[in-house]
Amino acid sequence: MHKWMLKNTKIDYKQMAKELQVTEVLCKVMVNRGINNQDDAYNFLNPDINKLHSPFLLKGMEEGVNLLKEKIKNNKKIRIIGDYDVDGVISTYVLYTALSQCGAEVDYEIPHRIEDGYGINISMIEAAHEAGVDTIITCDNGIAAIDQIQYAKDLGLTVIVTDHHEVPFVEDEEGKRTYICPPADVIINHKQLDCQYPFKYLCGAGVVYKLAQVLFQEMGTAHMDSLLKDLLQFVAIATVCDVVDLIDENRVIVKKGLELINNTNNIGLQALIKAAALEGKKISCYTLGFVIGPCINASGRLDYAKKGLELLLTKSLVEAEALAKELYQLNEERKEMTIAGVEEIIETIETTSVTKDKVFVVYKSGIHESIAGIIAGRIKDKYHVPTIILTDAEEGVKGSARSIEGYNMFEELLKCKDLLTKFGGHPMAAGLSLMPDRIEEVRERLNKLTTLTDEDLVPKIYIDAHLPLERISLELAESLETLEPFGKGNSKPLFAEKEIKLASAQILGANKNVLKLKLISRRGRLIDGIFFGNIPDFEKLVVDQFGQLQLNQLYNGKSNNIKLDFIYTIGINEFRGNKSVQIVIQHYRAN
C-alpha cells in the first residue's frame, strides 16, 4: 500500500505565473522541483546551450588540456580507457572523436565486465605500456584506481583521469574521513572537494564534453561549433542512461541533444533506431533510457562493450546494420534473462525468512552478474526495500545493490567493510564483492544495524497538486510539455482527485493490457482515462469495494456506484490528426 503525499510549498503562485506568463499549475510544478525564483524558472523553461557553465571552472581542466596539446604536438601515443556501461562507451566515443579531430594518435580500450571488472586494471596498463602508449586517459572511471594508477606512473606513463564518481576516502576509528585521489598527472572530476565547478551532477560523458570544448578552443579546431553540437546528442544519451538529475546543465544537454537525435546523421545511431523499430517515431527520454541505452549497454553486459562503441564510430552502413541488429538481439536476450532472474529472486524472498527483513540480501548462483543490478532494482521497486543481489563471480561472490529514499546504501555498506573484499557506489546504488561464507553475516549485520522503520518501508507518492478534472484541458497539457525532458530530478508531474465517478470501461490492446475509462467530473464533464497497469488487480479492488454487479455495469457502460481516488499524469492523445486531452492513471484507491 502506498502513502499519498501532497506537496504544499507556500509561495505566491499567482504573482509567479503573472511574471512568467504561464499557468499557476506550471509554477506549482516548478516550485516542487526546487525552482522558486523568476530567473531560475525562466532558465528552466528556456534552456540555452550558451548558458552552460565555463569548462575552465573544472579543477585540472587547464592543466589537462595543456598536457594533451603537448602530447598531440609531439605525436605521443594516447590510449583512452573507458567503462563498459552506456556512460563509459559514450564518454570514450566523445573523447576519441575529439582527440582524433585534433590530430592525436589515439586508440581506446574498454574492459570486459566479467574478465576485467570495472575500470582500469593492471593488465590493461601493462598492455598499454607494451604497445608503446605514452598517455592513458580514463573515462567514467579512475578516481578510485589508486594502486593501478600508481603502477602506471611507476612504468613511466602519463595519466589523466576524467571521472564523475565520488572521491574515495579512508576513515579512522572516530569516523573522520581523509579523501584520497590517485597519483595521476591530472584529475578532472567535479566531485573533488576543492573543485569550484558549480554543477555536481554531470555524468562521465558530460565531463569529457567539457574537455572537448576547451581542447577544440585551444587547438583552434576547424568547425568547432558544429563538432560540439554533433557530440551533444551522444552526451544526452549518456546523461539519461546514467540516471543523473535532469536539472541545470543536464536539462540543457538532454533537451538540445534530443532535438539532434531526432535528426541524427550518425549511421550507427540511425541503424539502432531502425533495428528497434523506432523509425518515424519521436525519440524521447523514455526511448533513450529504455530502448536505445539498454541496447548499447547489452554488449557490455553479455558481450564486449566495444561493439556499442564500434556502432557509433563506423562509417559503413552494412557494418552499422549488422552491429545494430546484434545489439538489439542481445538486449532482447538480456530482458528474458532479467525476467527469469526476477522470478527466481521473488520465489526465494517469498519462501524464506528474507521476506521479514528490512534489507534484502539474496544470493542466487544462476544469475548472470551483469544483470544483478537490474534485478536488484526491480525487486527494490516491487517491495520498496533496499536490495542486494549476489551471484557467483570468478573469485567469490559479486553483486549489486539498489536502495530507497532514506537509506544510504554506500554508508550502510561501510558498516560491513570488514566482511567485503571490495565495494563502492552511491547512496542509491552500489557494487560489492565478498567471499561466499560472508553472505549471511552481511545480511544479519545490515538488518541488525539498520534504523529503517516500518513507516520508512511504506512507499510514498508525492503529488504535485490536487487538480479537479474540470481544470484539465488540451492547453494545460501542452503547457506541461514545456517542462520536458522528464527524468530523475524532474519527474513527470503527478496530480490527484478524489471520488471520481466512472462512466464506462473497456479493455483494449492486442494483449488486452490497456484499460480505457470514461470519467465523470463533479460538474458532469466526461474525460478519457487510460491505465496501463495490472487490470485484474484493478478489477479485484472494484469487486471488493463495490461488488461484481457494479463492475459488470461499468464494463457495459451503465450507471454504477463506483467512485475512486486517482493519481494521474496529463497526456495528449493523437488520432488521425486530431488531438485530445486524457489522464494517464498511475495509482488508484477506494475510500
pLDDT tens-digit profile of 310-349? 999 999 999 999 999 999 999 999 999 999 999 999 999 9
Statement: residue 370 has pLDDT above 90 = no
Question: What is the chain's percent helix, strand, coil content, to nearest 5?
Answer: 45, 20, 35
Pair 77, 133: CB distance under 8 Å: yes
Spatial distance between the Cα atoms of 324 and 333, rounded to a whole number of angstroms: 14
Q: For residue 112, give the 3-state DSSP assignment.
A: coil
Decide which of 3.40.50.2300, 2.10.60.10, 2.70.180.20, 2.40.50.460 is the CATH code for 461-589.
2.40.50.460
The DSSP code for 493 is P
Going by C-alpha positions, the residue among 38, 48, 4 that lies closest to residue 18 is 38
Statement: residue 303 has pLDDT above 80 = no
* Mean of per-residue pLDDT scores for the chain: 94
> Could you tell me which CATH number the domain at 55-261 has?
3.90.1640.30
Going by C-alpha positions, the residue among 119, 114, 187 that lies closest to residue 148 is 119
Decide which of 3.10.310.30, 3.30.70.370, 3.40.50.2300, 2.120.10.30 is the CATH code for 352-449.
3.10.310.30
Q: 431-445 b/e with 16+ CB inside 10 Å = b?
A: bbbbeeebbeebbeb
Pair 566, 553: CB distance under 8 Å: no
Tell me which H or E stretch contains 135: strand 135-139
Global pTM reads: 0.92
Q: So where are the chain's domains?
A: 55-261, 352-449, 461-589
Task: Kindly state the average pLDDT of the residues 24-44.
Answer: 92
User: Terminal CA-to-CA distance of the chain, rounded, Å?
Assistant: 13
pLDDT reported for residue 31 = 95
Instruction: Determine the longest span between alpha carbons in the chain, in angstroms.
Output: 83
Answer whether 55-261 and 352-449 agree in fold. Answer: no
Percent of the chain with pLDDT over 70: 100
Pair 56, 198: CB distance under 8 Å: no
Q: What are phi and psi of 444, to 5 degrees?
A: -65, -40
Statement: residue 116 has pLDDT above 80 = no
- The CB-side HSE value for 529 (13 A sphere, CA atoms) comes to 28
Tell me which H or E stretch contains 78: strand 77-81
Q: For residue 113, give the 3-state DSSP assignment.
A: coil
Spatial distance between the Cα atoms of 185 and 161, rounded to a whole number of angstroms: 8
Q: For residue 502, give the 3-state DSSP assignment.
A: strand
Residues 344-368 pLDDT 10s: 999 999 999 999 999 999 999 989 8
Higher-scoring residue by pLDDT: 175, 48: 48
Residues 204-245 pLDDT 10s: 999 999 999 999 999 998 889 999 999 999 999 999 999 899
pLDDT reported for residue 366 = 86
Percent of the chain with pLDDT over 90: 87
CA distance to 116, 278, 468, 507, 562, per residue, from 518 (Å): 55, 30, 15, 12, 12
Going by C-alpha positions, the residue among 147, 122, 138, 161 that lies closest to residue 79 is 138
